[in-house]
Amino acid sequence: MREGFMGALERFGRMAREARRRLLGRGLERAIARGDSERARELLGRGADPEWRVGDSPALVAAAQGESPECARVLLEAGADPNGAGECKETALHRAALCGREECLRVLLEAGADPGISGADGDSAGWIAARYRIGGNAGSERAGARMVAMLLEAGWDWRERHPRGRRLEEEASAAARRELEEWEGRKAASALREEMERAVEGGRGAPRGGRGL
């Protein structure tokens, strides 16, 4: 009799914990949808799961498309995986690039999000950002180029082969192509400067054909 009572009590406890988990998770989902970072922080402090799924994606992916980067920040501070992905392999970084959320992109990169991860279609966040433009709008192209710059600084290798054989030079916006060209120019100048410094330190003089920058 006692064992039956204890078993029922244990089952009731599990059901109560699951109900509370769902209640907190749905509240977190609503807070993220509203961009209410303070409410999200409160719910996380009460035990909401930072990996709560919104549809088939982590809550962080949903936060990345909103206008409040603070929602993404509080999820990350609570332990959300910056590289967590949904069933289609879309991460928060992909979603932020797709929606043009520059500040959220910065928050994710600072938290360790990997710019080299590819989604189900083979596109990394850099590919998405490089193609970002709304109706050919020059302002949106510049926003895409700024996101490209952030991703490059975070280690994105834009020359890495696309799984489907596509070429970024053919698909990137004009502003993104300029950013890529300038990045390559800065890399070349930095490499030459380092070579000259090594040559001077070794007492060999400047490398053949080298000029000051």
Check: pTM over 0.75? Answer yes or no: yes
Q: What is the pLDDT of residues 56-100, one digit of tens each?
A: 999 999 999 998 899 999 999 999 999 999 888 999 999 999 999
Q: How far is the C-alpha of 207 from the C-alpha of 79, rounded, in Å?
A: 49
Whether the Cβ atoms of residue 17 and residue 25 lie closer than 8 Å to each other: no
Look up the CATH number of the domain holding residue 147.
1.25.40.20
Whether the Cβ atoms of residue 158 and residue 123 lie closer than 8 Å to each other: no
Q: Which residue has the tokens 């807070």?
A: 31
User: Is 34 a member of any domain?
Assistant: yes
User: Is 162 a member of any domain?
Assistant: yes
- For the beta carbon of residue 65, count every other beta carbon within 10 angstroms: 18
User: Which of the pair, 141 or 209, is modelled with greater confidence?
Assistant: 141
User: Is 194 a member of any domain?
Assistant: no
Domain count, the chain: 1
- Beta-strand relationship, 53-54 and 57-58: antiparallel
User: Is 200 a member of any domain?
Assistant: no
Quick one: average pLDDT of 157-173?
93
> Please, which pLDDT band fits residue 185 given cuts at 50, 70 and 90?
very high
Whether the Cβ atoms of residue 99 and residue 130 lie closer than 8 Å to each other: no
User: Is 184 a member of any domain?
Assistant: no
Please give the residue range of the domain that contains residue 158. Answer: 13-177
Phi, psi of 91 (to 5 degrees): -95, 175
